[in-house]
């Protein structure tokens, strides 16, 4: 079977932009990198953009009147415009740069939640959430007296829409939900969920860390109130992320951090914050990382998000077919037509950590553990799982190498 799609995505050609994929690991084994849900590799175009910045015009932004600072400020704000275009935001003023998805969610919990929530108000979470979309809300509940309520998942790992309907109510102030489960790959029905929450006058925050890199994200069409995602999961550098918010909501929020860059004026009596989005960007921002993120987004747009999604579906379909043939292996989550780029599994009688190490010795890099989703694993009745996660540079041959490596690992731990 060819790895190329009719729309032109050729992973073998793409791999030429990623020098790290040519290296060997363990005992001179070619690297098969299948831990993309944790962090992706960066193409030459991204690292080149960051090197060019450092060598040609680096300076601090928004503060200087000299040439370098003005050039850097222009490039920084052009990057903000590019992010807005990438997610179809009505305005770049609705794009706040953060250090990642976690920081973006915490910003909303502090900047919006501390002002708005009262004792007895309800925050609705789902069992599909990453800890980064759980713990900030638990901390907010402790501070405010709000109550955390949970939406269940079905036995197949999908969002339980009956549970959502039961939990949504007049006291619900916020629903925080992932777009794609980082464990099961489950794609949540966001349009239906957001409409149901809005019908109850509740706001919706979407953790799009596993969506933005893999499929088109149109925030205007989606109609969520807040959306957060990270650069390092979409070919960009770590240390940078994005919070999108409705203009009126961002303008109503107080700054979470104080200092330089986020103020309009300061006196002995107090301060006046700058307009959004810079009121949420205290201190020197992640300048190099922002430019790297812009380069990564340009790369993804050149390839095409829809083509990437279709390629990943092809890989997941092949992985599920091949792994299902391994007797002791159990696939987790819904079928491949309802997931995005992730295949998780357990092998009876083999701890996920042991299996991951056995695969590493064969050059195959996967993730093992609870994947920062302990409540979901508790619901599944397991303490840990193995996760293979795919991206645009992975191939069908690598899927076969994964399956072969698992079989050899099972032979070692379980016997033939």
What is the value of pTM for the model shown? 0.97
Q: Which fold has domain 47-302?
A: 3.40.640
Query: Left if phi > 0, otherwise alpha if psi is -120 to 50, otherwise beta: which for 215?
Result: beta
DSSP H helices in 200-265: 219-222, 247-252
- Active-site positions? 372
CA-nearest of 171, 130, 128 to 150 is 128
E strand segments, 203-355: 203-207, 226-230, 241-245, 263-266, 271-273, 329-332, 342-347
Per residue in 278-298, pLDDT tens?
999 999 999 999 999 999 999
pLDDT of 162 > 50? The answer is yes
pLDDT above 80: residue 212: yes
Q: pLDDT tens-digit profile of 236-252?
A: 999 999 999 999 999 99
Residue 264, classified by CB atoms within 10 Å of its CB into exposed (0-12), middle (13-18) or buried (19+), is: exposed
Measured distance CA(132)–CA(101) in Å, rounded: 8
- Model pLDDT for residues 61-70, shown as the tens digit of each residue: 998 899 999 9
Q: In CATH, what number does 11-30+305-414 get?
A: 3.90.1150.10
What's the pLDDT score for residue 1? 40
Q: Please give the pLDDT value at position 7.
A: 53
Question: Who contacts 357 (Cβ-Cβ below 8 Å, separation ≥6)?
Answer: none
Between 2-11, 270-279, 347-356, the lowest mean confidence (pLDDT) is in: 2-11
Q: Is the pLDDT of residue 229 over 90?
A: yes
Q: Where are the domains of the chain?
A: 11-30+305-414, 47-302
Nearest to 121 by CA among 200, 223, 228, 207: 200
Residue 409 has pLDDT above 90, yes or no: yes
Q: What is the pLDDT of residue 64?
A: 84
pLDDT at 20 over 80: yes
């Amino acid at each position: 079977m060819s790895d190329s799609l009719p729309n032109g995505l050729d992973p073998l050609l793409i791999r030429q932009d990623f020098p790290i994929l040519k290296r060997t690991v363990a005992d001179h084994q070619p690297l098969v990198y299948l831990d993309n849900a944790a962090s992706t590799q960066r193409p030459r175009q991204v690292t080149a953009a960051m090197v060019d910045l450092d060598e040609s015009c680096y300076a601090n932004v928004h503060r200087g009147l000299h040439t370098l600072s003005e050039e850097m400020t222009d490039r920084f704000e052009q990057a903000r415009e590019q992010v807005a275009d990438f997610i179809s935001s009505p305005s770049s003023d609705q794009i706040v740069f953060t250090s990642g998805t976690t920081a973006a969610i915490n910003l909303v919990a502090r900047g919006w939640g501390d002002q708005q929530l009262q004792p007895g108000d309800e925050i609705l979470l789902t069992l599909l959430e990453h800890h980064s979309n759980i713990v900030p809300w638990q901390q907010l509940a402790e501070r405010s007296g709000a109550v955390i309520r949970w939406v269940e998942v079905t036995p197949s790992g999908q969002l339980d829409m009956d549970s959502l309907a039961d939990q949504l109510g007049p006291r619900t102030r916020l629903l925080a939900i992932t777009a794609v489960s980082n464990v099961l790959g489950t794609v949540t029905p966001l349009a239906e969920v957001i409409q149901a929450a809005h019908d109850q006058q509740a706001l919706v925050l979407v953790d799009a860390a596993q969506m933005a890199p893999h499929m088109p994200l149109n925030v205007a069409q989606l109609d969520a109130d807040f959306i957060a995602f990270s650069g390092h999961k979409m070919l960009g550098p770590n240390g940078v992320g994005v919070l999108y918010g409705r203009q009126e909501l961002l303008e109503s929020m107080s700054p979470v951090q104080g200092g330089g860059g986020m103020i309009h004026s300061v006196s002995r009596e107090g301060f006046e914050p700058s307009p959004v989005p810079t009121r949420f960007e205290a201190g020197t921002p992640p300048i190099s990382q922002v430019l790297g993120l812009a380069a990564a987004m340009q790369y993804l747009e050149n390839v095409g998000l829809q083509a990437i999604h279709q390629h990943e579906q092809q890989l997941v379909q092949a992985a599920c077919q091949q792994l299902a043939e391994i007797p002791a292996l159990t696939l987790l989550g819904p079928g491949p037509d309802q997931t995005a780029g992730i295949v998780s599994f357990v092998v009876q009688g083999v701890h996920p950590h042991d299996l991951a190490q056995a695969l590493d010795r064969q050059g195959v890099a996967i993730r093992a553990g609870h994947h920062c989703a302990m409540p979901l694993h508790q619901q599944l009745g397991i303490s840990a799982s193995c996760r293979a996660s795919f991206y645009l540079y992975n191939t069908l041959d690598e899927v076969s190498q994964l399956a072969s490596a698992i079989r050899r690992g099972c032979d070692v731990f379980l016997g033939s």
